[in-house]
Chains A and B, each alone.
Chain A
């Protein structure tokens, strides 16, 4: 019988961080995720590291949390969180000029650092901005690459002894009277079912928290709130740019490496598993994005996607109060009379560490463990100081300098592991994805160390296939790596992985197929169907796997 101190359900930012936190406090933990790490809401957002500015007018509690937490993240997760700086700009004749004073006052109240800029200064900082600026502020916004943040978090927990199990779905909770004692797990990769037991089960499944709670006959009021994002082919801005107005659809553009993401919407959904993107929403993002920068209309739309935020509804007796967008730690012992189960939900990516800290505090209290939280001062793997220099690395390994530069940019200190493997095995120096400059060694690293089992898993960790070609030219090269390095894959599994990946990428590209991206898609179809014949063979291959 496998026993742990704590079982954490949900491999998003919060679940991974709760695992790291508890492991750092000395607990024996296991993290269970039914898909891949960060495959839920944590991987379906625009990747903004909130300075708090967005919330200073309507949600001061969240604003304060964001202001503090974003500073901590820049310290502990410097490999995936970057201080780009951010602007709030009000557009003449469109944005309500009165919002300016509310914003300034809110920033003061919530300790969100800001500096007013003249329209001329703002345009000097961001030349592609709409020129009709009425007022502008600088804030300490940044960008986060959630996949690597979460993988690094899980990696640290694993290095300290945590067990990270992806594609492992909790299908039942074991209960002994009113105490949750463990979980029943379905391992989707191996197709087997087994049981785990622990003193405490933490439900960190975000927008799906209600479904896990239901297994213990507990009701949690969560309203999924869908947000749609559109990725464009150019960075456009150096900094995050927000509209200076009350939060509304399409009010932000977040730059990420060589792309930018326009976000977002907020639509209440019934089912946490449903987050469709509609053509109207894509149009709206482009239209609103074009208010921030007229150059949005010239850009090539690379893909569109959506995620469901977990908005925590009113608890009984709370009706009528303004519900904050902040998070909730639910102690089901006091709330529902069920011991051994704690739920953490709500919140936002920027505050995931704080959410985990509060959850872990409660777990420690319940298990009578006297250990303080240290996550705020424990750097993630890769975030430690290093002296890697891409010119020297490129020279030494005889690889293109851009490949060295991008690898360091993605993994910082952890890039050493990748370069060491290049030294040992020269063939891993070859390039797997030439849009994003990802080497075979980097792909191998994600397979060996970071729980990458599918092509999509590899791409989320490395950004391979996320460039302009959206996998058209690198799918096969990535499949070769999965074939060479993943341990328990048969050739039929690799063929299935190729087909799955082709369909997975399609989920985001199919919304933006016009002009150049349409050409790209038809070229990709030529590769997959005219060369690979997958349009005719995919059913046969998938069927033979069942």
Chain B
């Protein structure tokens, strides 16, 4: 038996869940079909709008998005406003305002100002809309600060000594906008997780959601802070899944100095929290999220998508809706494939746009030269993908990293493009109903 929805979204990451929310908010019946956990789970949890332009650190993303729209008219940000930078920025701002609302003040940020965050590699990178727990980690505002970096015994992913030395060196040598006075490494333990064995950020975050483990954590930090006089405390991204905002507030209050989490490697706790925020917001307004479903194909008649064929571990199922949003992600999420010879999009067989240059450049760390990052599907100004025959499907929209013509790696724009295009695709899809 087929179930009929007003809208079906393929993909449960930032783009898909944002689109789903916008449609469901208007009272429509929406389903999200997701194969995996959503790639947002694997993100750092910080939403980058635009971190670099022409390989220069962006301080004001609004200004640089305006430039980008002029120089790269095919960039997803340009498509947002159909070439009109004012309109595009309006959508950027609206979508972020909309996002901040669902986070219940747990995220902060300003589209006119990038902040520069530290990470486990002991280097820095810009971002824009960030979890509250990272707010005080803006290196641009920590000029000449003395920091304490606190590691957790057994948590091998983060090495406070390395972080301390490296951040001091990298910031003072290469980030000309600011300096760091000193970073002092310290270590604490989470007794409930045992001693001298590998523990993960997931285990620590789960432990810190409990009052007992958190109070032991706080006690140790309090003791450390009496030993050295510091301006701020940096911890790995571990402050909990449920109580992270509360934990962070208590820490800052009790320690009397700013405390912040730094960006971590996937799978990161803040990335998982972000995914949870998006899912909860969608669930709250009645979006059905169907997990473990692979969309096999679409049934199309007269340029209109009629149904989707899906398969799970147990059965095949047909889904039917009036309008569809393709937010299935790029290669990592298997929204796109490259089999060594050809590129393809598996559900609608949309043409994958790319230039004729090599997929990858000679060197691995060559900013902007891995052409495969630009591969994707092209959409018109309504966010409708262009099919093999050059037509558009009348009831299909697309958003997120499946889109062509931008390089999220070197630009640092991944979640920003996903959020803003997901928002517009959702609004447009809803308007078409």
Contact = CB atoms under 8 A, between A and B. Distances in A.
B121 A398 contact: no
A527 B365 contact: no
Contacts of B370: 525
Nearest to A527: B265
Interface string A506-542: 1000100111001101110111111111111110110
A483 B338 CA distance: 38
A515 B340 contact: yes
Instruction: Tell me what chain A mostly uses at the interface: helix, strand, loop, or mixed.
Output: helix
Interface in B169-207: 169-170, 173-174, 195-198
B331 interface: yes
A491 B122 CA distance: 10
Interface in B143-185: 153-154, 156-157, 159, 161-162, 165-166, 168-170, 173-174
A531 B158 CA distance: 13
Interface centre among B266, B339, B414 (most CB of A within 10 A): B266
A537 B124 CA distance: 9
A523 B266 contact: yes
B156 A535 contact: no
A476 interface: yes
Interface centre among A399, A476, A534 (most CB of B within 10 A): A476
Given A430-B154, A491-B165, A513-B359, A525 B409 contact: yes
A529 B52 CA distance: 12
B156 A430 contact: yes
B266 A527 contact: yes
Interface stretch (A179-187, A202-210, A218-226, A497-505): A497-505
A526 B339 contact: no
Interface centre among B154, B198, B330 (most CB of A within 10 A): B198
A426 B196 contact: yes
**Could you say which interface size class chain B belongs to?**
35 or more
Interface string B330-347: 111010011110000000
B123 A532 contact: yes
B289 to A, nearest CB: 23
B331 A479 contact: no
A494 B163 CA distance: 12
B367 A535 contact: yes
Instruction: Tell me what chain B mostly uses at the interface: helix, strand, loop, or mixed.
Output: loop
Contacts of A532: 119-121, 123, 125
Contacts of A519: 331-332, 334
Nearest to A480: B159
Contacts of A386: none
B365 A531 contact: no
A426 B189 CA distance: 14
A387 interface: no
Interface in B59-113: none
A61 B270 CA distance: 64
B156 A480 contact: yes
Contacts of B169: 491-492, 495
Contacts of A503: 363-365
A518 B338 contact: yes
B265 A535 contact: no
Given A519-B331, A529-B365, A476 B166 contact: no
Given A514-B338, A518-B338, A525-B364, 15 more contacts: A430-B154, A476-B265, A491-B165, A495-B166, A499-B365, A510-B364, A514-B340, A521-B360, A525-B409, A526-B42, A529-B410, A531-B265, A535-B366, A536-B52, A541-B174
9 contacts: A491-B122, A492-B169, A505-B364, A513-B338, A513-B360, A515-B340, A527-B266, A531-B266, A535-B409
Interface of B: 42, 44, 52, 55, 57, 119-125, 153-154, 156-157, 159, 161-162, 165-166, 168-170, 173-174, 195-198, 263-266, 330-332, 334, 337-340, 359-360, 363-367, 370, 372-373, 408-410, 412, 414
